[in-house]
Amino acid sequence: MAERPPLSIRRDVPVPYYEQLKRLIVQQIERDGLQPGDLVPSEVELCEKYDVSRTVVRQAVGDLVNEGLLHRMRGKGTFVARPKLREQFIESTVGFFEDLTTRGHKVVSDVLNLDLVEAGSKVAEALGVPEKTPCIELVRLRSVNDEVVAFTKSYVNSSSRELLADLRKAELSKTSLYRVLEDNWEMRIESGHRSLEASKAQGMLARLLHIRSGEPVLYIESVGRDGSGRAVEYFQAWHRADRTRLEMNVVRDHRPAPTDFMHR
């Protein structure tokens, strides 16, 4: 079997050294068969191996950490990262549970609260009801494949104690809220609006998600509506950014292009 050529920085191409080094690190991981959790060479070792400066190495490794391919542990080194969970529920009316379980993941939720509450101003506005209107609050800490990845709050637009009792019997630790609402109460979410922004975990949230205070999270808000346009549910979710990759499909808008009057 022919010996594979050594990996090296090319000095004769206009590609920045740090970009080349990023590719070389990934190629070396593949060549060596490194797995998630395996240690990668230190900055000093990378400098010596590829004959580049510490600045180049830090830029390359930092980019790979930000892209989720590597992760650092203070005082221990840099390791191959575990693949992030691919979530696609952001683009559809399918919920977190159904999205991930249909792709073979084990999803378990620790139900922290399930009760009737008075809607605060933000919840009331989202649900389109007067402030202090009773609604059902469901608070969950959600784990995928035995790892905590998200903290969520759902508000169902109903004050029915019968619905509340049904939800309590439904074992929402292992069942989809949307499935119970649809199958038992004909409350089907047909459309909605979801927004996503970057945030930082602080205090209790950081502790619940098992991350350090100040680490990034993905904050999602959503309002789900039935066929008549009535708000069925409003939810807030904080996902660990180091374990989550949100994906969505996009299509081009086929509206006619604006007329160019200069070329009539």
Portion of the chain with pLDDT greater than 70, in percent: 81
Write down the pLDDT at residue 264: 39
Write down the pLDDT at residue 100: 63
pLDDT band at 247 (very low <50, low <70, confident <90, very high): low
Write down the pLDDT at residue 3: 47
Portion of the chain with pLDDT greater than 90, in percent: 49
Alpha helices in 33-160 (DSSP H): 43-50, 54-66, 96-101, 121-127
Across 114-143, average pLDDT: 96
Q: pLDDT tens digits for 84-125?
A: 655 455 444 456 656 666 666 788 899 999 999 999 999 999
The span from the first CA to the last CA of the chain, in angstroms, equals: 65
Q: Is the pLDDT reported for residue 15 higher than 80?
A: yes
Q: Is the pLDDT reported for residue 1 higher than 60?
A: no
Compute the C-alpha angle 108/114/115, nearest 5°. 175
Write down the pLDDT at residue 182: 92
For residues 75 and 252, which has the higher predicted lDDT (pLDDT)?
A: 75
Q: What is the mean pLDDT of the chain?
A: 85
| Contact present, 232 and 181 (Cβ < 8 Å) | yes
Across 157-168, average pLDDT: 97
Burial class (CB in 10 A: 0-12, 13-18, 19+), 215: middle
Q: Which residues contact residue 151 at a Cβ distance below 8 angstroms, ignoring those fewer than 6 apart?
A: 140, 141, 142, 205, 208, 209, 237, 238
| Contact present, 129 and 119 (Cβ < 8 Å) | yes
Write down the pLDDT at residue 263: 40
pLDDT band at 129 (very low <50, low <70, confident <90, very high): very high
Q: pLDDT tens digits for 191-224?
A: 888 888 999 999 999 999 999 899 899 999 999 9
Q: What is the pTM of this model?
A: 0.65
Q: Which two tokens stand for residue 130?
A: 């007067």
Across 142-156, average pLDDT: 91
Q: Is the pLDDT reported for residue 163 higher than 90?
A: yes
**Coil, helix or strand at residue 52:** coil
Using H for helix, E for strand and C for coil, what is the string for 218-229?
Answer: EEEEEEEECCCC
Single-letter code of the amino acid located at 119: A
| Contact present, 194 and 129 (Cβ < 8 Å) | no
Q: How many residues does the chain have?
A: 264
Q: Is the pLDDT reported for residue 57 higher than 80?
A: yes
